[in-house]
């Protein structure tokens, strides 16, 4: 199958320096955060790539780079064979924008509280001129609400009249309004109760089957990732450290960080397997460690790890950035 979305060496640097006068008085240099630092991956049509990692590892920045909310500092974003990160604003870019949409993390913040649901879901239809006339618009909004398990009558209500799970369904209905092929889901269930999470995830899986959607799914919840993904990418401090099919990653994780994340999941089956709890803190992104960023927390680190940054290389069909795996020090 061909890749619908392809990202090559994507990077984003943010200037987080203090104001000029403060720097002058305190004699401090400018400071930069490498939020995303050379990430590459591809997503095939109709499949789901999940990105996981601790808070602050750059997952959400990748999502925003893909849909154009941030401009990349370096690298390329290709959608259906066309490079979109450097495309000038115009009809061609607008047509591509229709084919990709984003579902945001917080359903309480991503919906305008002053608008009725009808106006919220119809906004993409109006912006892209997809439906003409109020009656046709209302009918289309009703269809979209029914497709996510809400009633047509809900179109006349305001967001505050809904629960968190229902608000996220409204967000999904809005994202589906332009009939996109690619959805970027930035932790769409993290603000919801566990039972409601399952309902929203099942709706998303059903919509994927019915419409052939392609997902980039951002999450820090490995149980959610296991439920929705086909492929999993693990990020640490702005870089992709492992990428593998879901079954391979959960059954035989290679990178020490991936192993640490999986060992943090409670062992309900009480298998008795030896586990390494997550240790240490994520380093300060303003002053990341030299060499492999994970080496201060890694039980397998050696002198090379503290000196040389590992490249993402393919071992037995799995992409891993780790000297210990490359040298055979980890089985």
**Angstrom distance (rounded) from CA 280 to CA 283:** 9
Written as six digits, the tokens of 26 are 């305190």
Residue 270 scores a pLDDT above 60: no
Q: Is residue 201 part of a domain?
A: yes
Asked if 322 contacts 255 with a C-beta cutoff of 8 angstroms, the reply is yes
Q: What is the mean pLDDT of residues 225-243?
A: 93
Q: Is residue 122 part of a domain?
A: no
Asked if 72 contacts 64 with a C-beta cutoff of 8 angstroms, the reply is no
Q: Is residue 276 part of a domain?
A: yes
Angle at CA of residue 321, ends 255 and 277, nearest 5°: 25
- Nearest residue to 232 (alpha-carbon basis) of 249, 215, 219, 220: 249
Q: Assign 304 a pLDDT band (cuts: 50, 70, 90).
A: very high
Q: Is residue 200 part of a domain?
A: yes
Q: Is residue 143 part of a domain?
A: no
Q: Any idea which residue has 């000297």 for tokens?
A: 323
Provide the whole-model pTM.
Answer: 0.89
**Angstrom distance (rounded) from CA 196 to CA 92:** 38
- Domain of residue 65, residue span: 3-99+180-326
Q: Is residue 150 part of a domain?
A: no
Q: Is residue 155 part of a domain?
A: no
Q: Assign 47 a pLDDT band (cuts: 50, 70, 90).
A: very high
Give whole-number Cα distances, 109 to 66, 171, 215, in Å: 21, 11, 22
**Angstrom distance (rounded) from CA 64 to CA 68:** 6
- Nearest residue to 254 (alpha-carbon basis) of 148, 164, 327, 195: 327
Q: Is residue 309 part of a domain?
A: yes
Residue with the larger pLDDT of the pair 45 and 130: 45
Residue 275 scores a pLDDT above 70: no
Quote the pLDDT of residue 273. 66
Q: What is the CATH number of the domain that holds 287?
A: 3.40.50.300
By CB neighbour count within 10 A (0-12 exposed, 13-18 middle, 19+ buried), where does 236 fall? Answer: buried
In the chain, how many domains are there?
Answer: 1
Percent of the chain with pLDDT over 70: 95
Average pLDDT, the chain: 89
Give whole-number Cα distances, 113 to 9, 58, 118, 181, 197, in Å: 38, 29, 12, 28, 22
């Amino acid at each position: 199958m061909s890749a619908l979305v392809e990202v090559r060496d994507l990077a984003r640097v943010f200037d987080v320096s203090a104001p000029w006068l403060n720097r002058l008085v305190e004699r401090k240099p400018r400071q930069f955060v490498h939020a995303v630092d050379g990430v590459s991956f591809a997503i095939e049509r109709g499949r789901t790539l999940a990105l996981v990692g601790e808070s602050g590892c750059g997952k959400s920045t990748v999502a925003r780079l893909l849909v154009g909310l941030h401009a990349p500092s370096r690298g390329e974003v290709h959608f259906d064979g066309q490079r979109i990160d450097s495309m000038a604003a115009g009809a061609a870019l607008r047509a591509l924008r229709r084919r990709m949409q984003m579902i945001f993390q917080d359903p309480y913040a991503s919906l305008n509280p002053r608008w009725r649901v009808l106006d919220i879901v119809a906004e993409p239809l109006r912006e892209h001129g997809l439906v003409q006339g109020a009656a046709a618009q209302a009918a289309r909004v009703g269809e979209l609400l029914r497709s996510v398990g809400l009633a047509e009558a809900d179109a006349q209500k305001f967001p505050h009249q809904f629960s968190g799970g229902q608000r996220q369904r409204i967000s999904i209905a809005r994202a589906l309004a332009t009939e996109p092929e690619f959805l970027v889901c930035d932790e769409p269930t993290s603000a919801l109760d566990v039972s409601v999470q399952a309902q929203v995830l099942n709706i998303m899986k059903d919509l994927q089957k019915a419409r052939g959607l392609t997902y980039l799914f951002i999450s820090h919840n490995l149980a959610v990732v296991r439920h929705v993904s086909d492929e999993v990418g693990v990020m640490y401090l702005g870089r992709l450290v492992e990428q593998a099919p879901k079954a391979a990653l959960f059954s035989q994780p290679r990178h020490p960080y991936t192993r640490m994340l999986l060992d943090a999941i409670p062992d309900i089956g009480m298998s008795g397997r030896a586990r390494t709890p997550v240790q240490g803190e994520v380093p300060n992104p303003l002053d990341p460690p030299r060499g492999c960023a994970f080496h201060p927390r890694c039980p397998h680190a050696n002198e090379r790890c503290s000196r040389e940054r590992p490249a993402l290389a393919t071992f037995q069909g799995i992409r891993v950035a780790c000297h210990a795996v490359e040298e055979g020090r980890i089985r």
